[in-house]
Amino acid sequence: LVDGLGWVHPPGLAQQGVILERLLMVRPPARPVPPERIMFALEQIVGSGLFSAVAAIGIDRWLSPAAWRRLQSGSEGARVATA
């Protein structure tokens, strides 16, 4: 889970049935992070092939059409469901 805005509350996820021990959560630090860095992290996670599903929250407004295509292509190549 890439939480670009820091909105996700892990205890709330646990209440909804998410097994936190099986969750990798990436959050930017308190200071602003360039969108390119967040996108880089997302692409690395998707491309690693270690996860069957990756969710990203709060980054859609930062992504250009080219970045969306790269993410889509990487997801298809790695056989990862990306939301």
Instruction: Judge whether 81 and 52 are in contact, CB under 8 Å.
Output: yes
CB atoms within 10 A of CB 31: 5
Print pLDDT tens along the chain (83 aa). 777 777 888 898 889 888 888 888 777 666 677 778 878 888 888 888 888 888 887 777 777 888 888 888 888 888 888 87
User: Phi and psi at residue 55, in whole multiples of 5°?
Assistant: -120, 140
What is the pTM for the complete model shown? 0.69
Cα–Cα distance measured from residue 46 to residue 78, given in angstroms and rounded to the nearest whole number: 7
Instruction: Judge whether 63 and 8 are in contact, CB under 8 Å.
Output: no
